[in-house]
């Protein structure tokens, strides 16, 4: 079982709709990141959360540490919001295997969002 | 915030050759990370590069295949050596920046196709 699960895997919406993408994780974390990846491949960091809620423009991200769950909401969706949205967590304890980094993020598989005009 | 640029943005290479990818950050950062994203997959950490020390490689990645340089606090290179079609991926540079818990910034990626 992946430590970070996202749902849905794919989401198609009509312009103007309210969108929610969910992320559940199974480990203790120090932070959770929401990332946006456009078809060209580049990744933009949308939010970093360790508690509560953040808002930036039409995007809202919430996190419930007790329930190990986060949501990304997009209000008044637009075709330019079409992208892959990735949830990533930074575990509080990363097992040190021989070699390896203590700093690694664990990524969800992403949610492909398509917003049609 | 930290702004990251990568060169090249994409390349098509022949099997058996090597490609060096450059990553430049507009701010001094301690930790730089190299990720690989194979087609249809999520990101996988290749290695962590600290300035002035050897890179730390994740399980399944070795220095001979993916040598990394980190000559200063704003620059790093990743070389993909003796390439095979399985190396066709997007390679992304990333940095931590700011105060704990650190913001994570990513470069635009290098899309590599090996024929």
Mutate to test the interface with A, among B104, B107, B109 (most CBs of A within 10 A): B104
> Looking at the predicted structure, is the pLDDT value of residue A35 above 70?
yes
Please report residues of B whose CB lies closer than 8 A to that of A105.
43, 45, 104
**DSSP bridge partners of A99:** none
Nearest-CA neighbor of B9 among A64, A41, A97?
A: A41
Partner A contacted by B103 (CB < 8 A): yes
Nearest-CA neighbor of B69 among B80, B89, B56, B54?
A: B54
pLDDT tens digits, one per residue of B63-84: 999 999 999 999 999 999 999 9
What 3-state class would DSSP assign to B114?
Answer: strand
* Contact flag B101-A35 (C-beta cutoff 8 Å): no
Please report residues of A whose CB lies closer than 8 A to that of B59.
97, 99-100
Q: Alpha helix locations (H) across chain B?
A: none
Mutate to test the interface with A, among B43, B91, B94 (most CBs of A within 10 A): B43
pLDDT tens digits, one per residue of B92-109: 999 988 776 678 899 999
For residues A16 and A41, is the Cβ–Cβ distance under 8 A?
Answer: no
Tokens linked to B115: 């024929």
């Amino acid at each position: 079982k992946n430590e970070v699960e996202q749902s849905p895997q794919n989401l198609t919406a009509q312009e103007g709709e309210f969108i929610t993408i969910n992320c559940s994780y199974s480990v203790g974390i120090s932070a959770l990141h929401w990332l946006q990846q456009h078809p060209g491949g580049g990744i933009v960091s949308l939010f970093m959360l360790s508690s509560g809620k953040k808002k930036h423009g039409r995007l809202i991200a919430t996190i419930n540490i007790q329930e190990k769950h986060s949501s990304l909401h997009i209000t008044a969706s637009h075709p330019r919001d079409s992208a892959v949205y990735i949830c990533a967590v930074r575990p509080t304890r990363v097992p040190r295997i021989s070699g390896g980094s203590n700093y690694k993020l664990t990524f969800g598989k992403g949610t492909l969002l398509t917003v049609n005009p | 915030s930290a702004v990251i640029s990568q060169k090249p943005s994409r390349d098509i290479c022949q099997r058996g050759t090597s490609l060096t990818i450059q990553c430049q950050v507009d701010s001094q950062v301690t930790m730089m990370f190299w990720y690989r994203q194979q087609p249809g997959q999520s990101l996988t950490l290749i290695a962590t590069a600290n300035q002035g020390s050897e890179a730390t490689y994740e399980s399944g990645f070795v220095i001979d295949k993916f040598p990394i340089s980190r000559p200063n606090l704003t620059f790093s290179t990743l070389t993909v050596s003796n390439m095979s079609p399985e190396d066709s991926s997007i390679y992304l540079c990333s940095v931590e920046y700011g105060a704990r818990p650190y913001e994570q910034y990513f470069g635009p990626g290098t899309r590599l196709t090996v024929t």
